Structure 1
Amino acid sequence: MAKELEKSESGNGDLRSFPKVSRNENGAFDIAVGSSDTIPALLGMKTPDAANVVFCSALEALGTGVDDAGGMASAMFAELEPRDAIEAMLVVQITTTHVAMTKAAGKMTHQTMTRQRESHERAMVRLGRLFTTQMDALKKYRRKAQQVVRVERVTVNEGGQAIVGDVTASKG
């Protein structure tokens, strides 16, 4: 394994490190990391074994495309900065969905037969919806549960009663 890390320029000027990914002559992944805690830190995970499995699952999901998109998958962890295992798994799903969608777009562009072109177009539409759903899931998960506490002044005179909660009038 090489000891060199790729650098990625983010929008705010920070330089972020992420592992360089390639395949060796045996078809196995070569992942260049600086230390054993590089991948867990990148994925926001606490255990190296789990982080390595999640990271490698992202690469496996790309299949033969890892040579082209492996660096992107690695860089997406640096870009989206997952904070825990759930977020890391969502980043894997989002990345692989994006790659599948762009591959379908490329295949659609080069089709001359209408039936095949429409098939790739349908795949793109489904993958686009899935991508949006996955992004919404990540946003919702990051937002966590938001509790709203509203305090209003209520005056109850002697002998009166107060109701706490929503009150709706019934018909009839």
Structure 2
Amino acid sequence: MGKIEKAKTDDLGVKVSGSARAGHKVELAQKSALCKIFGTSDEMQANALLSHCLKPLKADEASDEHPANDERTFMLSVVRDLAPRDPVERMLAVQMAATHVATIRSARWLANTENIPQVQAHYTGFNKLARTFAAQVEALRKHRTGGEQRVTVQHVNVSDGGQAIVGDVKAGGRGGIE
């Protein structure tokens, strides 16, 4: 497998270095870079959300000493790409990024198991994390759409003598006088 270069931090406008033990150093291209990533104008909230992104990472996933495992920039890029629009979306985006990293970590552990009890334990954890991520995606979709579902019909055949309705059709009970 070829060498994978680390994503440019210029894209995010944020560079996180250091480690949990020695302390993380955050460099911002602009004062508002974190606010932009988290979709907020509140700098205190953006700083807290950055901290929440770093907390679930293992030491080797948030350290300059292990650049191949460093997930800090990835976590921030996921949140940025989800483009949170309100506090619920901001918190959910951080959870989704953390759940994804934990799912991949769990998959790695599963791939390196050597006996049946380990396989069962890691498979259970992986499965729960994967299902949690799917539930988070659905929660984000419902939050963004207000829970409404839309169905788009791409092709309709109407036979001779038939009728087609074009427009919003709402399912309801028996017809009545309105």
Q: TM-score, normalised by structure 2?
A: 0.70
Equivalent position of 1:157 in the other structure: none
2:123 to 121, 124, 132: 121
Alpha carbons of structure 1 residues 119 and 141: separation in structure 2 relative to 1, 3 Å: same
Contact 1:6 1:18 in 2 (8 A): yes
Matched, 1:54 2:54: no
Alpha carbons of structure 1 residues 25 and 105: separation in structure 2 relative to 1, 3 Å: closer
Q: TM-score, normalised by structure 1?
A: 0.72
Q: CA deviation at 1:82?
A: 1.3
Q: CA deviation at 1:40?
A: 1.3
Instruction: Write the mapping of 1:1-172 to structure 2, written as runs, cut at 5 A.
Output: 6-7=9-10, 16-24=11-19, 27-64=22-59, 65-67=61-63, 68-144=70-146, 146=148, 166-167=173-174
Alpha carbons of structure 1 residues 26 and 128: separation in structure 2 relative to 1, 3 Å: closer
Q: CA deviation at 1:22?
A: 1.9
For 2:103 and 2:75, how far apart are their aligned partners in 1?
A: 14
For 1:24 and 1:123, how far apart are their aligned partners in 2?
A: 27
Identical amino acids, percent of aligned pairs? 25
Letter paired with 1:92:
V
For 2:122 and 2:20, how far apart are their aligned partners in 1?
A: 32
Q: CA deviation at 1:79?
A: 1.7
Residues 104-143 of structure 1, C-alpha deviations (whole Å, 9 max, x = no match): 1111111111101210011000000000000111111111
Specify the SS of the correspondent of 2:45: helix
Alpha carbons of structure 1 residues 18 and 75: separation in structure 2 relative to 1, 3 Å: farther
Structure with max Cα Rg = 1
Q: What is the RMSD computed on CA atoms of the aligned residues? A: 2.7
For 2:110 and 2:57, how far apart are their aligned partners in 1?
A: 19
Q: CA deviation at 1:85?
A: 2.0
Equivalent position of 2:153 in the other structure: none
Contact 1:43 1:85 in 2 (8 A): no
**Structure 1 spans left out of the alignment, 5+ residues:** 8-15, 152-164
Count of matched residue pairs: 144
Specify the SS of the correspondent of 1:62: coil
Contact 1:20 1:74 in 2 (8 A): no
For 2:16 and 2:147, how far apart are their aligned partners in 1?
A: 36
**Structure 2 spans left out of the alignment, 5+ residues:** 1-7, 64-69, 151-167
For 2:46 and 2:149, how far apart are their aligned partners in 1?
A: 31
Q: CA deviation at 1:167?
A: 3.8
